[in-house]
Amino acid sequence: MPTLRLGDTAPDFEQASSAGPIRFHEWLGDSWGVLFSHPADFTPVCTTELGLTAKLKDEFAKRNVKVIALSVDPVDKHGQWIEDINRTQHTQVNFPIIADADRKVSELYDLIHPNASATATVRSLFVIDPAKKVRLVITYPASTGRNFDEILRVIDSLQLTDHHSVATPGNWKQGDDVVIVPSLQDPEVIAQKFPKGYTAVTPYLRLTPQPEASIKR
C-alpha cells in the first residue's frame, strides 16, 4: 500500500462509527477535517486526547473543521470507552469514533506499520481540506500525546496561506507577522496585496503584518 502523501486525495470510505455509519467524503462535506487514529480503545494517552478534542469543539468549529477519530475496536467497545472519557476527562465526546475492526480504513490510510506492530494501528493524524486533499500528516509514537494547540496552529496557517501570498515563519501563531512568498516580486502587486507595508530583512525574507484570515473568528 503506497504511503499517503501531502496533496493526495484522502481516500473515501464507508464504515461504522459511534455516531452510526459514516461515508467519509459525504460526512466531511465542505468542511476541513481532522482524522486521527488510535491503536485500541481504553488506552490512557488516547483517552486524554479524545477528552481534549471534545473540549476544543468550539475552536474547531470556528475554523470550519470536523474531527473524527478511529480505533480498530468495534462500536460497542467505543460506547463503553466514551463513557470512560466523559467521566475521567470531564467532558462529552461530541464527534464520531470509527470502528475499524476489519482494518479497511487503516489499510487505506497506511496506519499499519509492521516495524511498530503487525496488527495495531499507529497514531497518525491527517488534516484534510474541503477539496479532500491531505494537507498535513503527523505520526506520533505511542508514548507521546498529541499537541492540539499545534494542530490548530497548522490549520490556521493553512487557511491563511491558501488565501494570501504568504507563508508563516517558525513558531508563528495568530496575529504574528508573516512572510511574503519569494515568487511575488512585482512592487505594484506587493503594494496592492500588502497595504500595511513590509520589512525586508533580506531580499528573500520580507515580513509583513498578517493579512485578515479568510475564515472569521
**pLDDT tens track for 106-151:** 989 988 755 545 445 668 999 999 999 999 999 998 889 999 999 9
Residue 101: pLDDT over 70: yes
Q: Which CATH architecture has domain 14-145?
A: 3-Layer(aba) Sandwich (3.40)
pLDDT at 113: 58
Q: According to CATH, where is 3.40.30.10 located in the chain?
A: 14-145
Residue 216: pLDDT over 70: no
Catalytic option among 4, 10, 46, 69: 46
Sign of the dihedral through C-alpha 133, 47, 94, 55? negative
Rounded distance between C-alpha atoms, residue 28 and residue 67, angstroms: 9
What's the count of helices (H) and strands (E) in the chain, helices before strands?
A: 7, 11
Of 67 and 142, more confident: 67
Is 7 noted as a catalytic residue in this protein? no
Contact 42, 137 (CB under 8 A): no
Rounded distance between C-alpha atoms, residue 41 and residue 9, angstroms: 28
Q: Please provide the average confidence, as pLDDT, over all residues in the chain.
A: 92
